[in-house]
């Protein structure tokens, strides 16, 4: 039995994708039910309920925020998470190479691979993709759902341009060996990808048991602009101003109020500790994804 979770307020394209998904599942004779969300946190509660009721799979229709909620609801359970991407941010789709079509995504329910991955945690919230502090988190804090629905990824660029006019606070990271490093922006990634199709941590992988910290150490407006442009070109890691480190945990602090985000949604104020956990999540991915991971397939893969 599959539970399909989606936000009916996500626009006509989302409704069309849901309608097509229902047609495909019905034609295939697959038992399913559709549950609609009405606000933040609903996808988490509906996913947790599905795990408690022993659904085989939750199909989350949405962007990275919806996927994050579903992952938190399914954390540690036997229920699989499958994804039909839609929304402003689709880093998960880019990370694992999900098909663009409804038909392609639903074919993975039977023809894909189910892998068990370890979740990371920022504060008290699990995440699957990326947590960050500083510039991008503060931009997300100032965005609203109406802006995202109207402008899509353009809403982020607009909010980012406005935020550049503000003074940028200095963060500092504390690593397990007690080393402290100052930075303006701190990204902590499970996989390779960041928003906008940017490969931020080329050595990252959801199948690894570690995190990759990518941090801009130089402060000021123009360094953040140069960092963003070089990230789009894929040259950011060659800069002496950028730190990249593979870690299990890191603590991020700031002397003045600043923000953190997980998987594209505002998390809360700093400080925040980000680290790997022993809690796992079963996700459905294309077979091609495993071929790109240098043969690193967890023993728990099914």
Task: Sketch out the chain's domains with CATH numbers.
Answer: 2-119+279-291 (3.40.50.10330), 126-277 (2.60.200.40)
Would you call 235 exposed, middle or buried from its count of C-beta atoms within 10 A (0-12, 13-18, 19+)? exposed
pLDDT above 90 coverage of the chain, percent: 71
The pLDDT assigned to 302 comes to 40
Q: What is the pLDDT of residues 260-292, one digit of tens each?
A: 999 989 999 999 999 999 999 999 999 999 988
Which alpha helices (H) appear in the chain, and where do they start and end? 12-27, 42-52, 64-74, 91-96, 102-111, 135-142, 145-151, 153-163, 221-233, 287-291
Mean pLDDT of the chain: 90
The pLDDT assigned to 295 comes to 52
The pLDDT assigned to 299 comes to 40
C-alpha closest to that of 202 among 234, 154, 247: 234
Would you call 177 exposed, middle or buried from its count of C-beta atoms within 10 A (0-12, 13-18, 19+)? exposed
The helix/strand/coil state of 19 is helix
- What CA–CA distances, in Å, run from 92 to 115, 186, 230, 276? 14, 20, 22, 18
The pLDDT assigned to 2 comes to 98
- The stretch 6-24 carries a mean pLDDT of 84
The pLDDT assigned to 201 comes to 98
- Chain position carrying tokens 């990204």: 187
The pLDDT assigned to 301 comes to 43
* pTM summary value: 0.89
The pair of structure tokens assigned to 42 is 């609903």
pLDDT reading at 165 higher than 80: no
The pLDDT assigned to 257 comes to 86
C-alpha closest to that of 287 among 111, 58, 48: 111
- The stretch 151-172 carries a mean pLDDT of 68
Q: What is the pLDDT of residues 92-136, one digit of tens each?
A: 999 999 999 999 999 999 999 999 999 999 999 999 999 999 888
Q: Furthest-apart CA pair in the chain: how many Å?
A: 58
What's the first-to-final CA gap in the chain, in angstroms?
Answer: 18
Q: What is the pLDDT of residues 29-74, one digit of tens each?
A: 999 999 999 999 999 999 999 999 999 999 999 989 999 999 999 9
């Amino acid at each position: 039995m599959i539970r399909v979770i989606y936000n009916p307020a996500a626009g006509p394209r989302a409704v069309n994708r849901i309608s097509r998904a229902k047609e495909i599942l019905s034609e295939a004779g697959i038992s399913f039910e559709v549950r609609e969300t009405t606000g933040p946190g609903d996808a988490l509660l509906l996913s947790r309920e599905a795990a408690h009721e022993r659904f085989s799979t939750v199909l989350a229709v949405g962007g990275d925020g919806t996927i994050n909620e579903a992952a938190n609801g399914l954390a540690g359970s036997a229920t699989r998470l499958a994804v039909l991407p839609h929304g402003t941010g689709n880093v998960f789709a880019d990370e694992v190479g999900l098909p663009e079509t409804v038909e392609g995504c639903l074919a993975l329910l039977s023809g894909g691979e189910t892998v068990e991955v370890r979740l990371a945690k920022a504060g008290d919230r699990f995440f699957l993709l990326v947590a960050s502090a500083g510039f991008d988190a503060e931009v997300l804090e100032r965005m609203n759902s109406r802006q995202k629905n109207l402008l899509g990824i353009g809403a982020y660029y607009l909010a980012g341009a406005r935020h550049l006019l503000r003074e940028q606070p200095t963060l500092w990271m504390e690593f397990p060996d007690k080393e402290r490093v100052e930075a303006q922006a701190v990204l902590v990634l499970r996989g390779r990808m960041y928003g906008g199709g940017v490969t931020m941590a080329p050595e990252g992988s959801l199948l690894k048991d570690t995190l990759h910290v990518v941090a801009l150490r130089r402060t000021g407006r123009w360094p953040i602009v140069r960092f963003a442009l070089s990230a789009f070109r894929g040259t950011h890691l060659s800069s002496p101003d950028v730190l990249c480190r593979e870690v299990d945990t890191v603590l991020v602090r700031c002397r003045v109020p600043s923000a953190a985000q997980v998987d594209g949604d505002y998390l809360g104020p700093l400080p925040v500790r980000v680290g790997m956990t022993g809690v796992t999540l079963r996700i459905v991915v294309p077979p091609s994804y495993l071929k790109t991971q240098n043969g690193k397939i967890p023993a728990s893969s099914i």
